[in-house]
Structures are given as structure tokens and as C-alpha cells.
Amino acid sequence: MVVKKSILFILFAVTVSSMTVGCNLTAEAKDRHPETRLAKDDEKLIDFSKGWSKDFMLANGYRNGDPFGCYWSKDAASVKDGKLELSLYEKDGNFYGAEYRSYKNAFHYGFYAIRMKAADCPGVISSFFTYTNRPAWDEIDIEFLGKNMRQVQFNYYTQGVGGHEKLVDLGFDASKEFHEYGFHWIEGSIAWYVDGKRVHIAAESIPSNSQQIMMNLWNCRGHDSWSGKFDPSKLPVKSEYEFIAYSPEA
């Protein structure tokens, strides 16, 4: 999640998380998404067992905005044992997190996936998402809220308008093992997947602009009902990523 979202949108999550945005989808809309979808080897945009990507960059040297106050630092990210590690730590009273993003290319309709483990710490957000602010703020999110590692939140923004949050029970602890999470974004709808199982569909005011691919780890303060009360005593923590996959829509 790029933390430019209004506080109203974030607080609205509690209300809309109990609603299924795609509950009134037509059969035609559902048929446009496969029942199952796992990333294939030839769809891997980055396999971290092969190291960094020349088409992605680490955010460094600036904050993600108030009231969060997390500094992005290239020192909070590394590739170890074939995995990307994004860390969150405290130093001299400041909090430092990591963000990895594409910068050479923008991506449009297609299937996106990540294989990852989330960080287990109240008030800490682990994420995989797409984002742009040109010509308008569009975004599609997969987020793990530190207060509950057995849930994942899906969300999206279209021209700066959000309020589409959906919490999904996973049936496992997302911080304990690697799992694949993805979304299939096409004109007029988005379907989200967990380990190849379609778990949510949205078909209302869907974003249409090409976007960057991003992932980050950061601390959230002041929104305890959403993320859980931030607990700095548990730092440092990390999220881990094995690969990023993308397959453009034909």
C-alpha cells in the first residue's frame, strides 16, 4: 500500500470488510476469471533465487508520510538464501522499513502473483500491490495486517477512491510458511487468489491505468483497529518473498 490514502478510507475498512464487493456479480463476470490460478515458471518476473532485478529499485531516504513516520531505507532489504527480505527496525528512535518497486516498466491487465511470508507483529503491514498516481491514483492491494496473521486484506483504489476492503480468512498463519497470493485484473473486474483458489471478486469501479509493481513492509501508528497496536518491542521483523509473477492479459 502506498501510504497516501486518506485516514477516512483506512477507518472505513472496518465497515466494508464485512461486505463482499463481488456478491452480485453476473455469471458472465465470474466466467471471465478461472476457478484456479497459480503462477507458472514462465510467468516469473523475478525469481529471487537469481538475485535482484535490474528493472526494480529500493526506496531510500524519505518517509512514507504522517502519522506513520516510517523511513524507507535500502539497508532494510537484502536477498539471502534465494529470497528477498524486507525488514523493519528501530534506530535512534526512528523506524526504518523497506520498499521494492518496478521503475522501468508499468503493467496493465493480467495475472499478478507473489510467493511470500508476512511479518508477524501488531501494527506492521506486509504487502504486495500495484500502484500509479499518473494520470490518477489507481491501486490494487494484497495486505497482511499485523494484528491477525490468519487473514489477508484485499483492496483497490480507482482515481483515488477506495473503500473496497475485504478481509479473507486463510485457514493458516501467513507468517509461518510461504504461500502464493495473486490477483487477475481485467477490464471491469479483479479476482484474488490464495494458493490457486479464487477467494474474492470485485466488479465495481475497477482501476484502468497501467501501474508499477510494488511490495513493502512498514509500521502503522494511530489506526489500531485496522492494523493492531504497533508493538516496537517485537522489532526487528521481516517479510520474505520467493518470486514475483506477471502474465499479461491477451
DSSP-derived letter for residue 76 is G
Q: CB within 8 A of 153, min separation 6: which ones?
A: 13, 17, 141, 142, 143, 144, 145, 165, 166, 167, 168
Whole-angstrom Cα Rg for the chain: 17
Single out the catalytic residue among 43, 85, 99, 139: 139
The vertex-61 CA angle with 55 and 148, nearest 5°, equals: 80
**Among 165, 152, 250, 143, which residue's Cα sits nearest to residue 197?**
152
180 catalytic per annotation: no
Q: Hey, what amino acid is at 121?
A: C
State the Cα–Cα distance between residues 236 and 103, nearest whole angstrom. 28
Q: CB within 8 A of 196, min separation 6: which ones?
A: 36, 37, 38, 180
Single out the catalytic residue among 43, 85, 99, 143: 143
165 catalytic per annotation: no
Query: Catalytic residues, which ones?
Result: 139, 143
